Amino acid sequence: MPDNYAAVLYGPNDVRIEKWPMPEINNDELLIEISCVGICGSDVKLYMTGRCGLEELVEPMVIGHEGAGIVAKVGSNVVGFCVGDRVAIEPTQPCGACEHCKRGEYNLCVRPRYCATTTGTGNLCTYYKHRADFCHKLPDNLSMEEGAAVQPLAIAVHACRRARITLGARLVILGAGPIGVLCAITARAMGATQILITVAQRHLGGKRITTKPKDRFLQIAARRQLNVTAMQLIQRLQSEHQLLVSDQTVRRLHEANLHARRPLRTSGLRRANRGRRLQWAREHLRWEDVVESRLETAKKMGADYTLLIRPEFSEQDVADKIMATLGSPPDVTIEACGYSSTQAVAMMVTRPGGTVVVVGIGPERVQVPLAAALLREVDVRGSYRIANTYPAALAAVSRGTVDLSPFITHHFPLNKIKEAIELAKTGAAMKIIIHVKP
């Protein structure tokens, strides 16, 4: 029997490649030899903090949910699939019996099994089992990489459907990450004629640590030089306080012997060596939505206008700049960052009677100008995962309506999963594909 190797997350910054039990399929399932898996922002959040949204890592878990592979075994009740078929894996497995499932809203299922959550194992492994009715045959002209990348596209299609985009719509997308960029190209295909997408240099409106931090944990770490790594410190600041880190604070952290992988002893370091380490810190300990290069990717994938949001901009500044660029309020605003500040901008800038769709995963509690939006009859809608959009996403790529080639930017083998996630953390990659099968 072949070995089943998996990327297993044990805790923050602790992912390991190890042998995992071979799945035993039920009558309605497929055993799939995984070829490619995309790295998602939720994978990165789990890796950094052990949490993502309402999910919390409670035991070692196989990560990954953007998978494609080849059918290796077919359950006895399965029809329409054969060994050797190439499939894209829709990561949900709903119960099929609750009221939401009966209405076709299976993304809202009350008893779902979803890849790489507390309810279901991930598919970043050699072999993975999945219900056949949530596996989709890949068209012959799609690569395995595209089959994996269809998953975030299906999320974007669902978000755009929730936004009720119509022919000629003016659209603003806040956030040029993978979902934001895919929303742009999807909205273009659905008939939107003016699309503006934003990129924030830093978390808009967030608190910022200065060289005299108020956070007690940072003060203790900096002054007493506790045995804690910079990454551990930054993770705590992110998860508990949503703080930003300035270049001065990066220097302060390093002067306090807080290096990302091991304590950094600054005494006796040559200036050049110290400079390289500080440069490493600036590259890895920044709080940017995405790097500026994503503006170019956004233009390639459907945006008419791009707007770089600088740290000093207030929420009103951003709304004013969007209005000045478009000439009139957008009909639809899609918030794809997960920040309370961008959710506020979305409600401020959308035209009366327009629609705001929040697809970004953010904190549990936010402060937004809800009353002002409601008095203008702005519809505020959520968009959660995927519902009946995989076939449309596959067809769009197969027919050339959506080109995913600019979207897929980096490739890694399975044994380099840690390096891949570390790269994803920097924001320098749009979509990373892990090649499980060489």
132-147: pLDDT as tens digits: 999 999 999 999 999 9
Q: Please check whether residue 193 is in contact with residue 169, taking contact to mean a CB–CB distance below 8 angstroms.
A: yes
Phi and psi at residue 166, to the nearest 5° = -120, 170
**Greatest extent of the chain over all pairs of C-alpha atoms, in Å:** 69
Phi and psi at residue 81, to the nearest 5° = -130, 145
d(Cα 18, Cα 56) in Å, to the nearest integer? Answer: 22
**Residue 83 vs residues 15, 32, 72: alpha-carbon distances, Å:** 31, 9, 5
Tell me the pairing of strands 170-174 and 194-200.
Answer: parallel
Residue with tokens 């044994």: 415
Exposure string for 147-177, b = 16+ CB within 10 A, e = fewer: bbbbbbbbbbbbbbbbbebeeebbbbbbbbb
- Among residues of the chain, what percentage have pLDDT more than 90? 66
- 8-22, 54-68, 235-249, 301-315: lowest mean pLDDT where? 235-249
- All structural domains of the chain, each given as residue ranges with its CATH number in brackets, are 5-137+408-435 (3.90.180.10), 156-201+289-382 (3.40.50.720), 207-284 (no CATH)
Count Cα atoms within 13 angstroms, Cβ side, for 374: 4
d(Cα 62, Cα 148) in Å, to the nearest integer? Answer: 17
Q: Please check whether residue 90 is in contact with residue 66, taking contact to mean a CB–CB distance below 8 angstroms.
A: no
pLDDT digits (tens, 9 = 90+) for 198-214: 987 654 333 333 333 33
* Residue type at position 163: A
DSSP class of residue 125 equals B
Query: pLDDT confidence of 102, banded at 50, 70, 90?
Result: very high
d(Cα 389, Cα 386) in Å, to the nearest integer? Answer: 6
Q: Please check whether residue 39 is in contact with residue 98, taking contact to mean a CB–CB distance below 8 angstroms.
A: no
d(Cα 106, Cα 92) in Å, to the nearest integer? Answer: 9
d(Cα 39, Cα 426) in Å, to the nearest integer? Answer: 13
d(Cα 221, Cα 230) in Å, to the nearest integer? Answer: 10
Look at residue 53 and tell me whether its pLDDT is greater than 50: yes
d(Cα 377, Cα 167) in Å, to the nearest integer? Answer: 21
Across the beta sheet with 14-19, the strand order is: 14-19, 5-11, 61-62
Look at residue 6 and tell me whether its pLDDT is greater than 60: yes
d(Cα 22, Cα 5) in Å, to the nearest integer? Answer: 9
Look at residue 157 and tell me whether its pLDDT is greater than 50: yes
Alpha helix (H) ranges present in 383-428?
390-398, 417-426
Q: Please check whether residue 91 is in contact with residue 114, taking contact to mean a CB–CB distance below 8 angstroms.
A: yes
Q: Please check whether residue 435 is in contact with residue 414, taking contact to mean a CB–CB distance below 8 angstroms.
A: yes
Burial classification of residue 370, based on how many CB atoms lie within 10 Å of its CB (0-12 exposed, 13-18 middle, 19 or more buried): middle
Which of 115-129, 225-239, 243-257 is modeled with the greatest confidence? 115-129
Q: Please check whether residue 372 is in contact with residue 347, taking contact to mean a CB–CB distance below 8 angstroms.
A: yes
Q: Please tell me whether residue 70 adopts helix, strand or coil conformation.
A: strand
* The predicted structure's pLDDT at residue 187: 97
Q: Please check whether residue 30 is in contact with residue 135, taking contact to mean a CB–CB distance below 8 angstroms.
A: yes
* The predicted structure's pLDDT at residue 268: 38
pLDDT digits (tens, 9 = 90+) for 243-264: 444 444 544 554 444 443 333 3
Residue with tokens 């709903």: 94
- Which neighbouring-strand residues pair with 1? none
Residue with tokens 């979902």: 179
Q: Is the CA virtual torsion 39, 45, 49, 51 positive or negative?
A: negative
* The predicted structure's pLDDT at residue 229: 52
